[in-house]
Amino acid sequence: MKENNPNLKIAYFGGEPLSVPVLEELKTAGIIPNLIICNPDRPSGRKMQLTPPPTKTWAEENNIIVFQPNNYKDEVVKNRLTTENFDLFIVVAYNKILPEWLINLPRYKTINVHPSLLPKLRGPSPIRSAILNDMRETGVTIMQMDKEMDHGPIIIQKQMLISEENWPVDGTELDVAMGKLGGALLASIIPDWIAGKITPTPQDHAQATFCHKISKDMAELKIDPENLPSGDEAYQTLLKIRAFAGWPETFFIYDNKRIKIKQAEIGTNGQLMINRVVPEGKAEMDFTSYFG
């Protein structure tokens, strides 16, 4: 698309885990941002080594300028964004609240990829919350942003149905699938959005539901590895294991050690089966190797 309009200036505000899959879809469609804005580098790993976010790594690999502001009150940051005359801002899983002046700055305003069928699951964890809530139907919304969270009018939506045989889906897999779906949908509407051919539709705010930020303490399970749950308790536990795959990862305490759960399923007898674990201080292994 930018080949047809080389003067179009796009800034992309991206965070994990959706940002890179969306960028890949935009790149495939020939839509390359002029500037990528992402979170600052953070200490990571056991050695707490300063590590760039995946969005920054992608930008550098694709020779795109990167900007990593801590906030939007600093005058240097304001000048950086107000002096370049951007045409469009795109926001994907970016975890900083954008002020209203910034949202309204570009010529064609600011559009957002949100991984739920708004107004359902407004908030910071729609993908993982969909799994926790046993929702087989989800999807992606492209909306025009306003000053309230996930509140703006809808440009387009696309449903994603998850088959029974693939449910409950792994959270990391659903992250990627939703990122790809959202990126392809975003790329498909940008030309018409720029051309003024789309009138966004206000959300039905009375139907809004909300999800909350996921924290590490939510991932602890109160289970006995020698007497694993069955029935509905087993199923609800499996939903949590699958929803929190990748981060924060479910765990339980056994013999004063933290045991992370990497793979689990429901057995034919309806009992939870844990297949792979990472015991504290050890490498990943079969559940039976550690508890057998």
Condensed to tens digits (0 to 9), the pLDDT of residues 126-175 reads 999 999 999 989 999 999 999 999 999 999 999 999 888 888 899 999 99
**DSSP reduced 3-state for 290:** helix
Q: What is the pTM of this model?
A: 0.93
Lowest-confidence segment of 161-165, 174-178, 188-192 by average pLDDT: 161-165
Q: How far is CA 257 from CA 75, 101, 218, 219, 252, in A?
A: 48, 49, 18, 15, 8
Answer for the pair 124, 211: CB distance below 8 angstroms, yes or no.
Answer: yes
b (16+ CB within 10 A) / e for 229-241: beeeebeebbbbb
Q: Residue 210: what are its φ and ψ, rounded to 5°? A: -135, 150
> Which DSSP category does 29 fall into?
T
Q: What is the pLDDT of residue 3?
A: 45
Closest CA to 150 of 80, 73, 97, 107: 97
- Please determine, for residue 247, whether its predicted confidence score (pLDDT) is greater than 50: yes
Answer for the pair 154, 138: CB distance below 8 angstroms, yes or no.
Answer: no
Q: What is the pLDDT of residue 56?
A: 97
Q: What is the pLDDT of residue 65?
A: 97
CA separation for the pair 171, 148 (Å, rounded): 27
